[in-house]
């Protein structure tokens, strides 16, 4: 039986979510901008989903702008704020998702200065450095993710937003990993805008949202019919949005129980890992998402180990799925000051609510076997044996 331990990359569509989407994929096919009945029904479904997503993150319904996914939401936040003013400075952390890092780098080509706020060895943003960088002036936007997709490290957003707001600067947070794994309260006054993604919470791929505080002045990324309050044009992906709403609703209803379940499994996994030789766990002393554990096994290359586990029908990730295949050690771990040779060996386990104790036990068994047998193997010879 296959085991999926890669829920930070994507999650299976939940059956209840699929049921909610189904009518909107078949007989109910109105365009949500049309004025006739089929259109108005589609519009009502989109608005109901907007309320569900808003409730899930304690936002006001008018603050939810649906997008084509988390990447688009991140791009929209950074470029939308940048478009409203002359180039200035933007602060990001060095452990951001590529959607933030690369969007920021694209702005650097248009005259923006992108500076990184230091993180400590556990991957936590250094508040003193953030204050120093803000004090240097001319910062238009700070973007710091609430929870990291690789290490699972949770930032102290209350402290970060207090510092950023005191400097009179806008704050964006990539909150894609938060719902369903961590309570996220937009209204509590942390960030001015936050990115969400549906397929990380058992919703469909291809839909996300940017939660936007109305006082934030931003330009749209996509121009056209003026959908989504003029901030995101394009015919509404009705089925996708309905699915996102249903998934958000589920996350809200079952989140606490699922988090407790995943935390219990993850802790058992880590107890097992700590008993094995040659295991380095990352961010072990920081507050982390309940479902995430990133570690390296001595003597193994992360991607090689991933392939060996895949042969055993166990799906894990080596760092971010988006950076997979590049062969480079995780920039997140390097930013934390981890030795590149160790970072190269990193794999990530990210659990979902459906995972079981039996799966944890089987994983530990397989890993234990590999760790014993592979302690002296070089990355090259492992790839060769896998590919050969």
Partner 1 sequence: MPRRRHWRPACSTPCSACWSRRRPIRTPRTRRGAPPQHIDYAAHTLADLINARARDLVWTSGATESINLALKGVAEFAGGEPHIVSVVSEHSATLESLAWQEKRGTRVTRLDIDAHGRMDLDALDAVLADGAALVSVMHVNNETGVIQDIAAIGAICAAHGVALHVDAAQSLGRLPIDVTAMNIALLSVSAHKIGGPKGIGALVVRRRTGLAAQLHGGGQQRGLRSGTLATHQIAGFGAAAAHVTASRDAEQARLGALRDRLWARIARLDGVMRNGAPAQVAPAFLNVSVIGVHGEALRTGLVEGAPGLAVSSGATCSAASGQSSHVLRAMGRTPREAAASIRFSLGLSTDAIQVEQAGARFVAEVERLRSLASAA
- Taking CB under 8 A as the criterion, the residue among 222, 276, 334, 342 binding partner 1 is 222
* Residue 322 annotated to the active site: yes
Q: Does 348 bind partner 1 (CB under 8 A)?
A: no
Q: How far apart are CA 67 and CA 18, in angstroms?
A: 19
> Of 4, 56, 293, 322, which one is the catalytic site residue?
322
Distance of CA 167 to the CA centre of its chain: 27
Q: Is 80 in the site for partner 1 (CB under 8 A)?
A: no
User: How many chain residues interact with partner 1 (CB under 8 A)?
Assistant: 62
Q: What does the per-residue mask of binding to partner 1 show for 289-328, with x meaning CB under 8 A? A: ---------------------x----x----xxxx-----
Residue 86 near partner 1 by CB under 8 A: no
Residue 20 in contact with partner 1, rule: CB under 8 A: no
Q: What is the DSSP letter of 154?
A: B
**Nearest approach, Cβ of residue 197 and partner 1 (Å):** 8
C-alpha 199/C-alpha 69 separation (Å) is 9
CA angle 185, 190, 191 (to 5 degrees): 105
Structure tokens at 99: 């959607």
141 forms bridges with which residues in the sheet? 90, 170
What is the footprint of partner 1 within residues 105-144 (CB under 8 A)? 105-106
Report CA-CA distances (Å) from 267 to 42, 186, 272, 301: 44, 28, 9, 24
Chain positions 148 to 177 lying near partner 1, rule: CB under 8 A, are none
Q: Which residues contact 61 (CB under 8 A, 6 or more apart)?
A: 47, 50, 51, 54
Count of Cβ atoms closer than 10 Å to residue 268 Cβ: 14
Instruction: Report the nearest approach of partner 1 to the CB of residue 156 (Å).
Output: 25
Q: Which residues are catalytic?
A: 322
Residues that bind partner 1 (CB under 8 A): 2, 4, 10, 12-13, 18, 25-27, 29-31, 33-39, 67-72, 74-75, 97-99, 102-103, 105-106, 197, 199, 204-207, 219, 221-227, 233-240, 310, 315, 320-323
């Amino acid at each position: 039986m296959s085991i999926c331990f890669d829920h930070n990359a994507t999650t299976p569509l939940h059956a209840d979510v699929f049921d909610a989407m189904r009518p909107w994929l078949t007989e109910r096919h109105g365009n949500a901008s049309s004025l006739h009945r089929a259109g108005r029904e589609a519009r009502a479904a989109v608005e109901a989903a907007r309320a569900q997503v808003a409730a899930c993150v304690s936002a006001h319904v008018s603050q939810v702008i649906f997008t084509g996914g988390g990447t688009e939401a991140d791009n929209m936040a950074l470029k939308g704020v940048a478009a409203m003013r002359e180039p200035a400075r933007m602060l990001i952390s060095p452990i951001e998702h590529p959607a933030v890092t690369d969007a920021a780098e694209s702005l650097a080509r248009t005259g923006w200065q992108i500076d990184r706020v230091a993180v400590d060895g556990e991957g936590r943003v250094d508040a003193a450095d953030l204050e120093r960088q803000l004090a240097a002036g001319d910062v238009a936007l700070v973007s710091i993710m609430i929870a990291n997709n690789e290490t699972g490290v949770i930032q102290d957003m209350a402290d970060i937003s207090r510092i950023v707001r005191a400097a009179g600067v806008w704050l964006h947070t990539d909150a894609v990993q938060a719902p369903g794994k961590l309570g996220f309260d937009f209204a509590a006054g942390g960030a001015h805008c936050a990115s969400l993604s549906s397929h990380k919470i058992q919703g469909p791929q291809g839909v996300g949202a940017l939660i936007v505080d109305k006082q934030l002045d931003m330009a749209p990324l996509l121009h056209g019919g003026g959908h989504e309050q003029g901030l995101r044009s394009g015919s509404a992906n009705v089925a996708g949005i309905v699915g996102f709403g249903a998934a958000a609703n589920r996350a809200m209803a079952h989140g606490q129980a699922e988090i407790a379940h995943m935390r219990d499994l993850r802790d058992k996994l880590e107890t097992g890992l700590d008993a094995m030789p040659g295991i380095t766990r990352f961010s072990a002393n920081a507050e982390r998402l309940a479902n995430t554990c990133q570690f390296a096994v001595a003597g193994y290359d992360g991607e090689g180990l991933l392939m060996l586990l895949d042969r055993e029908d166990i799906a894990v990730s080596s760092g971010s799925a988006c950076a997979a295949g590049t062969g480079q050690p995780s920039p997140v771990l390097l930013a934390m000051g981890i030795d590149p040779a160790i970072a190269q060996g990193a794999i990530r386990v990210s659990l979902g609510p459906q995972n079981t104790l039996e799966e944890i036990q089987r994983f530990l068994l397989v890993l234990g076997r590999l760790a014993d047998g592979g302690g002296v193997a070089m990355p090259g010879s492992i790839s060769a044996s896998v590919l050969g």
